[in-house]
Amino acid sequence: MRRDIFQAIADPTRRAIIALIAVQAMTPNAIAEHFDSTRQAVSKHLKILTECELIKQEHQGREIYYQLEIEKMKEIDKWLEQFRQIWESRFQQLDQLLATIQKK
């Protein structure tokens, strides 16, 4: 089943996992240590993130390390950019209004 990246990041646990592995690649057990849930629950979150291609697996010996897929994160940033431009425009308008009020 193809999942949507926005569906994947809607879950706070998955966002926390992304934040963890953004710093360094981690094994499933190392990731699971940061949560008050079962290893199986964390594995399910990892599976969803992998299906969405937000993270990828790298085998090192018998261990599997998960790392962030930067290119996929850029898709999220690109989508957010349209809103960032709107917010910045509105903040500039607010700054101008406040400056006008302060001059009076």
Give the model's pLDDT for residue 103. 87
Tokens 């960032």 -> residue: 84
Give the model's pLDDT for residue 20. 95
pTM > 0.95: yes or no:
no
Instruction: Give the CATH number for residue 75.
Output: 1.10.10.10
Number of domains in the chain: 1
Alpha-carbon span 10 to 6, nearest angstrom: 6
Region 73-92: mean pLDDT is: 90
User: Which tens digit of pLDDT belongs to each residue from 7-44?
Assistant: 899 999 999 999 999 999 999 999 999 999 899 999 99
Q: Is the pLDDT of residue 45 over 80?
A: yes
Q: Which domain holds residue 10?
A: 5-103
